[in-house]
Structure 1
Amino acid sequence: MNSRIPGVLFDVDGTLIDSNYFHALSWWHAFRQFDHTVPMSAIHRAVGMGGEKLVAHLLGDDRDRDQDAELKASHGAIFSTCWPSLIAFDGARDLVRACADRGLTAVLASSAKERELQVLRTALDADDAIAAATSSSDANESKPAPDILLAALKAGGLQAEDVVFVGDSVWDVYASAKLGIPTIAVTCGGTSEAELRDAGAVEVYADPRALLNALPESALGKLSA
């Protein structure tokens, strides 16, 4: 008897929830508190990495590493003031529910802290269709390392060969590629289709609604056929 279960792993920030630019602005303010001037565009392109990797990526190896934890804490505190403004992208909750209706086990592969994850889930409003979710405590290393995806697979009782990952950043694509998981990417997080395809995304859509409209013909539709 075949016990393999098809599933879909969803990145949350920038994929299902319109939060990437709030993250970029929060990081910008955090850097300024420590007299670092980092272009907003550079910050945005690094969003999707874990905080410690984002700081290292943007400030370099010669930074004062003693500031790293304070920078992350400052970003978190500033970002929390944006929580009331967080909303789901058009079609996001319908996409998650449609995947579940097609027999796919839907797992949120989030690296957010637990309290923040609850805020994101409230904004998404699709808990009835979500089988499991991860938070930052479930991964030792952040994207582009694949740890959070491994945790999401475990949480959903899934195997890498039976899932598709939906994300919005090149870091998402790089992480999933390390596990041999195909990525469907969306550009609503602010990364271009060309960059996402160059990173290895198998399909690219404008947003969750566009993916939902193409669901039967997409890699997700084929997985659930």
Structure 2
Amino acid sequence: MAEVAAALRADGHEDWRKYGPLELPPILDAALAAFDEQGYHGTSVRDIARRIGVTVPTLYYHFHNKQAMLVELLMGSMRAVLGRCRDAVEDADADPVARFRALVECTVLYMAHRAPLAFLDTEIRSLEQENRARYVALRDELEAMLRHSVRDAVDTGAFATAYPVDAARAVLTMCQGVANWYRPDGPLTPADLADRYVDIALSAVGHRPRGTAA
């Protein structure tokens, strides 16, 4: 099981803006497809095993139960986007506006490129209590990164919002929503969409470009 888990958690990116095809171990790939089509509670372990042509005992050799597959997918996805966002922040250096722009761009790119996996966030309700707490802690870390960039930009006068915490949460929710509707055959590429969302997000926090009067 550890070997299968590592394949998802590694993500393998060298550039946080660049993505290759999503490559999951067969069991997780089948579980993701089943959860997407039928929902977590509508999917059986037998159905997942059937999709990849293995027996149920073989599947249980890798994962203890269906919950373990959901946890691996959700935690792996959150670790992947966090890893990319940490790299994006590092590239942006200390400037809070640059950090904010990078975080929005990075989140939207992930939601577009990994939409089926990111959309699974809607199944957080299906996590058992302990697993949900672990997942929420990671999601809170992502929100905190964005919140700190907004607060820092407010302190420097670059953002005018009177509600930095609420604004950061609203921006993150907007970005995460991309996974609900984005389709690769649509009119916008992930990069085009990310650029557009950066502009929208900057408006939401009351961005004041340098030289603009307060």
Task: State the TM-score bracket (shorter-chain normalisation).
Answer: 0.3 to 0.5
Q: Relative contact order (C-alpha < 8 Å, sep 6+): which is higher? A: 1
More helix as a share of residues: 2
